[in-house]
Amino acid sequence: MALATSKGASSSSSSLTGQSKNFDVFLSFRGEDTRWGFISHLYNALCQRGIHTFIDDKLPRGEEISAELLKIIENSMMSIIVFSENYASSTWCLDELTKIIECRKNNQLVRPVFYNVDPSEVRRQKEKFGEVLTNHEKKFNESKVRRWREALHEAANLSGWDYKKREYVEAMLDSCNLHPNIGIQRLIEKCLVTIDQFDKLWMHDLIQQMGREIVRQESPQLLGTRSRLWCYEDAFEVLTKNKGSDKIRGIVLRSLEPTKLQLEAKCLEKMENLKFLIIDNVEICGSLDYLPNDLRLLEWRGCTLSSLPSNFHPQKLIALNMPQSRVILDKLFKRIKCKNLTYMNFSSNQYIRELPDLLSAIPNVKKLNLRECRKLVKIHDSVGYLDKLESWDLWCCKELQILPSCIAMKSLKYLCFLGCNRVKRFPNIPQEMENLKFLSLKHTAIRELPPSIGNLTGLERLEIGSYFYSCQLPSSIYKLQHLRKLLLYGNVKFPKDVGIGRQAATCNSYSGFSKYFFPILNFLKKLTSCFTCSEKFLLSRSEDLNLREIIIRFNRLNWLLIRDSKFLKKIPNLPESIRRVDASNCISLNSESLRKLILQFGRILGLSPNMKCPSAKGNVLMDLHSHYKLSNQIDCSSRVSLSKFNVICDESFPTLDVYLVDYGEPCDIKVPGKKIPNWINHQSIESCISFWVGPEFPTIAVCVAFHLIPLKDNYANNDKYSSIQDDIIKWVCDIHIFTDSRKQCHMARVHLCDLKYDHLWFYGVPHSQLQTDFGDLMQGDRNHVKISCKISHWLSDKGKYAPVIAGMGVHVECICPPQNSIIIQENSQNVDEDTMLTPLLPTCSTSSFPTDLDAGDLSTSFSP
């Protein structure tokens, strides 16, 4: 028997192991269906591109896949699975597939090709796939067949190709970028670049500098003949002095300060091979008559042109990123057809009134961002049939009224209509859309959902309702058996007395609500029947608003969000499943309720409030009014604009998984307050704390006190301090851990948004998690640990207040050596627990409508 590879090698089975390393691509296929047609064409195309490919076209097929072949799969950089009609009839193929999916968990690239089969047949094991798997169950044990089924389902959910003719092979080879992917994988293996959990590519600064130096040395003197221009000054000179050439492949024109630039209309005409153009914070004055047709990436934030040049036909364009621009889409796509375009961002464009026919112009788009296009009124019917679209964001398109009559997007995972308060009708869903995981319809004018909502069978998170309209849900809502997070706003009405199988329950039965209707529900926001008052009183700022003790019966609840409830006085005992509570701006909560809440989280983490630090003999206290001395701690260099802050938030939540993730063990509380509880055994008015621990990383809980202080320029104008209610203050805080190993590890990040008072953030991680993530940093029996926190970015929209860290505490079982400690009490006469909640600023009347759930509600991460 012989093995063919892209290097033309052949060998006997005895040398199989020797060839099991360094393959670029492993091809998995059912030979009877594909060998002499599609596969041979694909294999030859890969060979011609120098891609080292393994194909087992002459191996004899036995009952069991060989250990050598498993090793080849394991050591390949990428696997391509060609699903054909009879693929599942081969147990050899199914074993290959199972191994491939196992290797994918170790970051191997995997891409499916659907050859004359529909992906849903593979995913759901219908028709021929279902028949052969049923037959396998008669011959093989249950666990083996179950593994095959799971592997088929996972592989069919991956992004791949659905081609029915062999001439599509060439098109399939640009559109997945096999070559770049393999090149990147080789760089990863050499530790030159890394890919994080959000699929972002990172490299060390020195590697980046080395690459730029290599480019500079291509042409030290003549800027116009370098392949890439990264430096603003270099790009400025080439563009303004018309020094460009066909050697240039990429230009980044990014200014630190807003800049106006006068260019010749044809300044890019000599750069016909330009592949990427990035313009940021630069306003191009006048017209632009030419853009190279070879562009793959066009990124131009704030573009003032109403249209792109009439001779611009970018057939190879992959990403069009033009937020805050003035480009009108119906003009653009009447003449531009971009079959390769997969990413389009026109967010905050206030000149788009209608979304035109995109199905013929950009049929393969995967991500469509139209956030805050506030003039957008109508969306063309064809947009509802973009079957490659995975993410569609229409957040806060306040004038939007007309949606497509139907949506049939088999690839769609994320759909957001949040804040589209003129949208009255949700489109019909004529066929099952099992990939849609996230749907936000909150703060729309939708009063009734269509029965076809039941076709969203894979939905995991649903946000629905408005404070202005009631919304009736159809009985088909109970088909959403994968729903894990349900956010209700205003008066959302559920159909009553609906049976599920043999069980029946009404939505007034709290245990039944989760157990029978939505079996895996673990997050619920604002179920109004949990409150003692009616919805009417809730909206009119009732002074008797309280959570009922019945909430403890929600025994799967892990996140409770009750922000901006100004009259909420106490939080009762919560279920043991709880892991996150956000009571931001709930200024009426009494100190006893908060004390019990934080103690409950301490018990969940396994931390006793009676742990003492041998080195401390008393509490570290600080006079609250002396916090004004903290004005010197304001880090003005970390202040950013609102748009920049939003970019930072987007980078923190770049994928759909963030909105669906179960936060698991880490505990998180946000509550109003000034004073760190006395029982936390390490406290400091600084932003770092040191302590000693043993050979294992123990359970820890961190408490950070945030204080809002007037900016110096506004002292004179803030004599009543009420102006904070008109300001928008947001910030990002990071916690880092340092140990004797001198390594710094990122422990957590929190986004705090629209806070009007001083707040406490309590964050805890159990021993098992910390030991897994940081245990390798421990050295010997005694380890010195330092935990620090820092406000990395902040904004004050009105420029009146700034957040600072007033102090922090760490509760940990330590082995600190005994020593005398200084008790700091600057005018802190009789400071008691009640002062923890007394607002520094007088309570002002505010809107009765709670703050929207935004990135700040999805803010805490645990990332070593």
Average pLDDT over residues 16-37: 69
The answer, yes or no, to whether residue 824 has pLDDT greater than 70, is no
Model pLDDT for residues 187-244, shown as the tens digit of each residue: 877 778 877 655 677 888 788 888 889 999 989 999 999 999 999 999 999 999 989 9
Average pLDDT over residues 348-368: 93
What span, in angstroms and rounded, lies between the C-alpha atoms of 607 and 321? 48
468 within 8 A of 446, measured Cβ to Cβ: no
What span, in angstroms and rounded, lies between the C-alpha atoms of 805 and 627? 10
Compute the half-sphere exposure of residue 103: CA atoms within 13 Å on the CB side of its CA. Answer: 23
Question: What is the pLDDT at residue 704?
Answer: 94
What span, in angstroms and rounded, lies between the C-alpha atoms of 9 and 271? 42
Average pLDDT over residues 433-446: 93
| Residue 143 neighbours by CB distance under 10 Å | 8
595: nearest Cα among 654, 679, 657, 537: 679
What does the DSSP 8-state code read for residue 338?
A: -
Element (H, E) at 807: strand 801-812
Element (H, E) at 174: helix 169-175
Question: What is the pLDDT at residue 170?
Answer: 62
Compute the half-sphere exposure of residue 474: CA atoms within 13 Å on the CB side of its CA. Answer: 13
Average pLDDT over residues 32-56: 80
What span, in angstroms and rounded, lies between the C-alpha atoms of 764 and 770? 10
The answer, yes or no, to whether residue 781 has pLDDT greater than 60, is yes
What's the maximum distance between 2 C-alpha atoms anywhere in the chain? 89
Question: What is the pLDDT at residue 520?
Answer: 65
Helix 91-104 vs helix 67-75: crossing angle, to nearest 10:
40
What span, in angstroms and rounded, lies between the C-alpha atoms of 777 and 789? 19
Tokens of 269: 């005409």
Average pLDDT over residues 403-408: 96
SS3 for 591-629, per residue? Answer: HHHHHHHHHHHHHHHCCCCCCCCCCCCCCCCCCHHHHHH
The answer, yes or no, to whether residue 48 has pLDDT greater than 70, is yes
Q: 855 or 63, which is more confident?
A: 63
pLDDT band of 62, cuts 50, 70, 90: low
The answer, yes or no, to whether residue 841 has pLDDT greater than 60, is no
What span, in angstroms and rounded, lies between the C-alpha atoms of 500 and 773? 42
Percentage with pLDDT > 70 across the chain: 76
User: Both ends of the chain: CA-CA distance in Å?
Assistant: 49
What span, in angstroms and rounded, lies between the C-alpha atoms of 287 and 262? 9
Q: What is the mean pLDDT of the chain?
A: 78
Question: What is the pLDDT at residue 763?
Answer: 92
CA dihedral 794, 795, 799, 802 (to 10 degrees): -30
Lowest mean per-residue pLDDT among 312-321, 710-719, 790-799, 809-818: 710-719
Which residue do the tokens 């088999």 mark?
410
362 within 8 A of 334, measured Cβ to Cβ: no
634 within 8 A of 804, measured Cβ to Cβ: yes
What span, in angstroms and rounded, lies between the C-alpha atoms of 660 and 236? 44
What span, in angstroms and rounded, lies between the C-alpha atoms of 627 and 711? 13
Question: What is the pLDDT at residue 252?
Answer: 94
Residues in the chain: 864
Distances (CA, A) of 46 to 4, 24, 698: 13, 10, 52
Question: What is the pLDDT at residue 525?
Answer: 57
pLDDT band of 106, cuts 50, 70, 90: confident
Most confident option among 167-171, 185-189, 228-232, 583-587: 228-232
574: nearest Cα among 595, 561, 555: 555
